[in-house]
Structure 1
Amino acid sequence: MSLQHAHGFDLEARLRERERAGLRRHLDPVDAVAGRARTADDPGGDPPEFGEERVVFAANNYLGLAGDERVAGAAARAAREVGAGAGASRLVVGDTPIHRSLERRLAEEKGTERALAFSSGYAANVGTITALDPDVIYSDELNHASIVDGARLSGADVEVYDHCDAADLAATMAARAEAADAGESWLVVTDSVFSMDGDAAPLAAVCDAAEEFGAWVMVDEAHATGVYEGGLVGERGLADRVDVQLGTLSKALGAQGGFVAGDEPLVEHLLNAARSFVFSTGLAPPAAAAAERALELAPERRESLWRNVDRLRDGLETLGYEVWGDTHVLPVVVGDRADALALEGRLSEAGVVAPAIRPPTVPEGTSRIRLAPQATHTDADVDRCLSAFEAAAEEGDFA
């Protein structure tokens, strides 16, 4: 073996190990981002050949706006009038009127002085946490990977508190306070809606704990933006108690990108110190325009979304399935990894796209099917999903 080969990377062995553990993922082509789509019969085909249309309950396109003609029209106009891309970092040449208009609308939506758009929600989280440079981060144990990565990159001491447990947060902070240095900066970070468990953070209680110890609160509204007016922070009237609000333009708003909202000094600091903003080409103008139009359209879609959520949850529970959470994300808990994969296969055969979520994404013994209803799903779509679950329950021990 040559010295050069000895110090290389055996990526094929890593892939085989993922395959053995049932953790290897693949890209599955679809012909549209919508409540219904055709998937490729042969994912490796080039070009792919698409099969029969299926009902998609896997996307985070909660309001169905990714395929809305009005949103697409706003993107097309921006591309024609401004350009398909920002051209550079917005600090160099990419700060267009479209970006500024979006940020004004986001600040209004979030009840803050200013907002700042990033190229993705991931970039917003990593850039914001590292730019704040806290001494200590208190993080919910089920926070998104982008929060976890931002905390790691920040170099802060990270204290993980029990999921959605404000009492444990307070106890963890109290224990730390006994030996804390004067002037330490503390940051409490939580998702508002947790995308795998479908539950919501106890935001008021989190704010109570943080205020007791003089900590800042940062809330990631990725799965709440657009679904709730002002996000969950706004819906619960907590905008004046949350120091940093994050969100995404890529889920319910059907566009692309992320944002941070807060007071003037926060945004000024981030546009100077958040590396994922400073050293990245700005958000594409078509995405910014699409997101702003989607924000205008979101209120008209919410009632339909919640009607579909309630019909699906009630139907699944009537069939004997265990559905966690209290939001628009519906985790149907099966338990065993193999059972979850088998149920995913049964649903796919019935024309329903719904992913099996299994360890290490979720704890052992809690494998599940994650359902994400959309506002644009029809009654027939919901019925088709329920019928597929009913047939699966009759054939196997899933419920």
Structure 2
Amino acid sequence: MSGEADGGADTPRDRTPDRGFDPAGRLAARARDDLRRDLTPVERVAARSRLAEDPGSDPITFDGDERVVFAANNYLGLAGEERVRAAAAEAASDVGTGAGASRLITGDTPAHRELERELADAKGTERALAFSSGYATNVGTITALDPDVIISDELNHASIVDACRLTDAETYVYDHCDPTDLRATMRERSREATGEESWLVVTDSVFSMDGDVASLAAICDAVEEFGAWLMIDEAHATGLYADGGGVVQREGLADRVHVQMGTLSKALGSQGGYVAGSATLIEHLLNAARSFVFSTGLAPPSAAAARAALRVAREDERRREQLWENVARLRDGLEAIGYDVWGETQILPVVVGDRERTMALGDTLDDHGIVAPGIRPPTVPEGTSRIRVAPMATHTEEDIQRCLDAFRAAGEELDLV
């Protein structure tokens, strides 16, 4: 006994296994794989802003000159638009800065209802429902639908991928933007199906990394042939086409799409996401979508700002035209310099290919006052690392030219053009 007391045997504490985590080791592994990232504070959300190094827990210090930002999804420049800011301030004063509870308890305010009516009108549906984020919208909607089978484009957004993982559905992935492969996948599944099944086909309309557009009419044809439901993610399209619609509206397909999803945080310059569809769909989601039911409602100032932004997007045709003019000028200029520019939308992926050369290009652009960081795997496939250039309607001709000059100088420095 005295030997044990003197430490001759392990104490219970000594025998306790280590079942904790090693954040430092995981961070070191990310750094070794060149995947560690830091936060980069911006002074304001606009076409031009000063940036700061990540201060950790210390106060932010902004110094140096403004840089031109080509890395935001604020496509119409509405995050700082006077009418949008005024609407947010008025809602904060009249309704409150936060919803205070789930929408199903006491968090359902006039700001939410007014936004949802406007969204439903713009999307050509009976009703709409606003969520606290686009991510929560996709996860909540897909899990609430609880399909037996999900058939998803291979380059769909991470929130769709995660939603598929959270369901019990058997998930199939079809080749990117390939309605023929979608149809073949559905045909194969139909041969295997036993009894009745619910099928959900889901795709982005505009893909955030490639800047291309799904062939929605052909997808509708395939979906209708097999009696499935179709969900379209319009995150990067909402507000950019006539009357504030997305690609679904541009192509006149609203009556063929069962679930229209979108965000309020990109072209509409606010925060949150939404689903638009039939009244019964919305009633089901507000009862069954866990990310809606168990989240505090979208902040009233965000809802009011999104509604005001949607009104600007619907009424201010010149603002939309300015965006597309900036897009065309940048695309033509980048291609003239010698860059490979993918896509067909407001998203301009300048594809370099090699990871290291892409990141060096992003750093060199920053040295020239342009914010357009490199995008590398696993965000994009191996061999397709790129600079994702995102112009805004509020970029001036001087801003566009400065961007082109920086790409030319950086490309020559790095022997890319």
TM-score w.r.t. the length of structure 1 is 0.98
Contact in 2 for aligned 1:30/1:37 (Cα 8 Å): yes
Aligned partner of 2:18 among 1, 6, 10? 6
Aligned partner of 1:298 among 306, 309, 313? 313
Q: What's the CA shift for 1:280? A: 0.6
Letter in 2 for 1:209: A
Moved over 6 A (4+): none
1:17-69 per-residue CA deviation (whole Å, 9 max, x = no partner) reads 00011111110111000000001156448322212100000000000000112
Letter in 1 for 2:82: E
More displaced stretch, 120-129 vs 176-185: 176-185
More displaced stretch, 226-235 vs 35-44: 35-44
Letter in 1 for 2:43: D
Stretches of structure 2 lacking an aligned partner (at least 5 in a row): 1-12
The percent of aligned pairs where both chains have the same amino acid is 70
| CA distance, structure 1, for counterparts of residue 91 and residue 104 of structure 2 | 20
1:66 corresponds to: 79
Larger Rg: 2
1:32 corresponds to: 44
1:328 corresponds to: 346
| CA distance, structure 1, for counterparts of residue 389 and residue 90 of structure 2 | 34
More displaced stretch, 292-301 vs 324-333: 292-301
2:288 corresponds to: 273
1:143-194 per-residue CA deviation (whole Å, 9 max, x = no partner) reads 0000001111011000000000000000000011001122100000000000
Contact in 2 for aligned 1:115/1:261 (Cα 8 Å): yes
| CA distance, structure 2, for counterparts of residue 185 and residue 3 of structure 1 | 52
Count how many residue pairs are aligned between Structure 1 and Structure 2. Answer: 399
| CA distance, structure 2, for counterparts of residue 7 and residue 79 of structure 1 | 46
1:316 corresponds to: 334
1:392 corresponds to: 410
Contact in 1 for aligned 2:38/2:54 (Cα 8 Å): no
Contact in 1 for aligned 2:116/2:127 (Cα 8 Å): yes
Contact in 2 for aligned 1:42/1:49 (Cα 8 Å): no
RMSD: 1.2
CA shift in 2, pair 1:4/1:149, >3 Å: farther
Contact in 1 for aligned 2:330/2:404 (Cα 8 Å): yes
Letter in 2 for 1:24: R
CA shift in 2, pair 1:96/1:164, >3 Å: same
CA shift in 2, pair 1:4/1:33, >3 Å: farther
1:237-262 per-residue CA deviation (whole Å, 9 max, x = no partner) reads 00000000000000110000000000
**Aligned 1:11-26 pairs, distance under 5 A:** 11-26=23-38
**Aligned 1:335-346 pairs, distance under 5 A:** 335-346=353-364
| CA distance, structure 2, for counterparts of residue 285 and residue 231 of structure 1 | 24
CA shift in 2, pair 1:319/1:284, >3 Å: same
CA shift in 2, pair 1:285/1:371, >3 Å: same
2:366 corresponds to: 348
| CA distance, structure 2, for counterparts of residue 3 and residue 158 of structure 1 | 44
